[in-house]
A and B are shown apart, each in its own frame.
Chain A
Amino acid sequence: MIAALGRIPAQGGQSPPGLLGYFSAHRTEVLHWLWWHAWLSVLPVLIGLVVSLPLGYLASRRRWAYPALVSVSGLLYTIPSLALFVAMPSILGTKILDPVNVVVALSIYTVALLARVVADGLGAVPEDVAQAATAMGYTPLQRLAKVDLPLAVPVITAGLRVAVVANVSLVAIAATIGVPELGQLFTNGFQLSSTGPYYPPIVLGIVLCVVLALVLDLVIVLVNRALTPWRRTEAHR
């Protein structure tokens, strides 16, 4: 498919190369953007997970905390990402181009999504399993670490997959305010197209974003498999 796209005849510009031609001509910067894009997509998910675990635990244990968590995360989720990127400097005191804005904004989205997922996952542990663990002498903390959390892993990783794929698309939007990542391919393509359509950077950006999303998604699927070995034995039986 990539080879076929590489043959798209480019119009405009001076002796324009195809998709692969464009890539080899700008290899260094494109790989640099890809690297940054991956980091800006993954780091907020890791931060979000670390924040979501205690929040989700609290919401699964305290009756009052769950509705509060659901409404607050719903509100945060409603705010358009560009607005959040732009509002961050006046909240954090950072510069407008600081990548920290993107990381914090996307971490907020991730927490809004994941805290609820963690609460649902921990809440879905069967009552008899929890009672069996208590009867075997697990303290509440031991039960959380050795029984509840492992059983909630498939639910949590499903939430992580949604978060990371969404982040790849959201990170690209930050390029319109000047943060360097794969979205720069779109803004560059837009500027180069002012005289006539020039597709290679735009199509390359879309292909790389989709590939990055698929790869990150696959990584989470593999981590999920590694963390839940009992599911594989069940499938073999």
Chain B
Amino acid sequence: MSNALTWLTDPVNWQDQLGTPGIPTQLGNHLAYSLAAVAIATVIAFPLGLLIGHTGRGTPVVTFANGLRALPTLGLLILLYVVVSPHISGRGDAPYLVPTEIVLVLLAIPPVLGNTCAGVQNVDPAVRDASVGMGMTGREVLFRVELPIALPLVLSGLRSAVLQVVATATVAAYVGLGGIGRYLYDGLAARDFAQMTGGAVLVAALALVLDGVLAGVQRYAVSPGVSGRFGTGPAQAGARVAEAAGKASVPA
């Protein structure tokens, strides 16, 4: 552990050397790969989840996406890498980046899709009926009633997607991608355990910080009426149940 601390505090490791990117660059790479994947997955899964949850049609898609979670991440990563990378003749990182981005997007879709859909479907039917009775159109019901109520679940889906992607992006260094995973595998190859442990600390810190930031977003984006931060009542119990349901995700 103390060796890892020495490695982490050595200023040489924080500067870009010729051919070896420094810690800030690799942190930036890791963040960029992860956020790009989560963004693409959200663009695909969030509208789809809203649509399926609102119309109640197409639930087999959610079941299928959840089934994908049973696949071993590493196997999926290497299979896609082997299948896709020979077809990519780009410069630089493209042969590593494209297949791993596809896998990361595939991993981020199920939590976002499943939680968005479940969040919208779990809205109390009485609330939905009341909004229709007040003369809201289907679109208004979705965006002004169902989505705000579903938001805690949607955001916890996003949180587990981010964690899963950050963890898997680390493993993706095995097939040659940059990011903090490089320190783990390069350290292993060179028997440099200080570098390895230092990299592990960095990844854990990155995951904790990202999750903390999203927890903050969740706290302030969710309407006080839904989260029950102000006042007491049935909404509070509902929010707790929703939060508990969102936590039932899988580490990566």
Contact = CB atoms under 8 A, between A and B. Distances in A.
Given A91-B1, A169-B70, 16 more contacts: A74-B247, A78-B204, A79-B203, A80-B170, A81-B252, A82-B200, A83-B201, A166-B250, A176-B74, A177-B184, A182-B72, A183-B74, A185-B75, A197-B82, A206-B79, A209-B71
A28 interface: no
B82 A79 contact: no
Given A169-B72, A209-B72, A82 B181 contact: yes
A165 B70 contact: yes
B134 interface: no
A209 B72 CA distance: 7
Contacts of B188: 86, 96, 177-178
B14 interface: no
Contact of A82 (B79, B197, B203): B203
Contact of B208 (A75, A87, A186, A206): A75
A84 interface: yes
A87 B200 contact: yes
A172 interface: yes
Interface string A184-210: 011101100100111100110110011
A202 to B, nearest CB: 5
Nearest to B167: A80
Interface string A64-91: 0000000000110111111110110111
B152 to A, nearest CB: 15
Nearest to A77: B251
Interface of B: 1, 3-4, 70-79, 81-83, 86, 163, 166-167, 170-171, 174-175, 181, 184-185, 188, 193, 196-197, 199-201, 203-204, 207-208, 211, 244, 247-248, 250-252
Interface of A: 74-75, 77-84, 86-87, 89-91, 96, 109, 116, 120, 162, 165-166, 168-170, 172-173, 175-178, 182-183, 185-187, 189-190, 193, 196-199, 202-203, 205-206, 209-210, 213-214
A166 B72 contact: no
Nearest to B175: A190
B184 A82 contact: yes
Contacts of A77: 163, 251
A199 B79 CA distance: 7
A173 B79 contact: no
B204 A186 contact: no
Contacts of B83: 197
Nearest to B180: A83
Judged by DSSP, the binding face of B is helix
A87 B171 contact: no
B196 A162 contact: no
Contact of A205 (B72, B175, B197): B72
Contacts of B78: 186-187, 189-190, 202
A173 B73 CA distance: 8
A176 B171 contact: yes
A202 B82 contact: yes
A174 B155 CA distance: 30
A193 B70 contact: no
Nearest to B210: A78
A187 B74 CA distance: 9
B172 to A, nearest CB: 10
A214 B248 CA distance: 19
A194 to B, nearest CB: 10
A213 B70 contact: yes
A172 B167 contact: no
A193 to B, nearest CB: 4
Nearest to A174: B74
Contacts of B75: 172, 183, 185-186, 202, 205-206, 209
